[in-house]
Amino acid sequence: MRAGFEREWAALAGIGGGAAEGYHRFAWTPVDLALRAWFREQAARRDMACEQDRNGNLWAWWGTPGPGAVVTGSHLDSVPGGGAFDGPLGVVSAFLAVDELRARGIVPDRPIAVVNFADEEGARFGVACVGSRLLTGVLAAHTARELRDGDGVTLAEAMREAGADPGALGRDEEALA
């Protein structure tokens, strides 16, 4: 398991900083797009279907998505100068748990998903847990779209620049089910 962790971590560790300056992994930036590509690659290596929900959260599925699913994971973004393991450790560990289950020949009775929640740290737009709060309807879509970063860029503008549709934001009954 340790070798697997070191291999997976090595592929992720260089994205967005590291060493003395810490990590700068902010939502809807080129670094975030690289993190999202890493997530999709991890899913593909495991033959897990990967989808992005209406709020930008990424889901990698072992089995057909549906009610009763077991969901684990975390986020890949960071606070300014953040530590290496906050957030990403939960995502890497979730993928490794899938690997371990498969290595033991376990076939789950329910679908299993690894999730990467979008903009959980709130470092860029000043609101924590944006992806999960939008998913559950705790954060209103119109409020989220108007959030601004330090340069005056709105969340809606940043999402469009990253190829996501801010018009789709909001509570996601399908994902919650």
Q: What's the pLDDT tens digit per position in 110-152?
A: 999 999 999 999 999 999 999 999 999 999 999 999 999 999 9
For the segment 95-114, the average pLDDT, to the nearest whole number, is: 96
CB 109 within 8 A of CB 66: no
At residue 92, does pLDDT exceed 90? yes
Helices (H), the chain: 2-13, 30-45, 88-103, 130-136, 141-145, 155-161, 173-176
pLDDT category of residue 18 using cuts at 50, 70 and 90: low
How many domains, in total, are found in the chain? Answer: 1
Its domain, for residue 112, covers 2-176
Q: Of 147, 124, 146, 136, which is closest to residue 170 (Cα–Cα)?
A: 136
Q: Give the lowest-confidence range in 1-10, 98-107, 121-130, 146-155.
A: 1-10
Task: State the CATH number of the domain containing residue 22.
Answer: 3.40.630.10
**pLDDT of 1 strictly over 60:** no
Look at residue 19 in the predicted model and tell me its pLDDT.
Answer: 61
Give 51's strand partners: 59
Distances (CA, A) of 74 to 2, 88, 115, 123: 20, 7, 6, 16
Per-residue model confidence (pLDDT) at position 85:
81
pLDDT digits (tens, 9 = 90+) for 19-62: 678 888 999 999 999 999 999 999 999 999 999 999 999 999 99
Please say if the pLDDT value at position 2 is more than 70. Answer: no
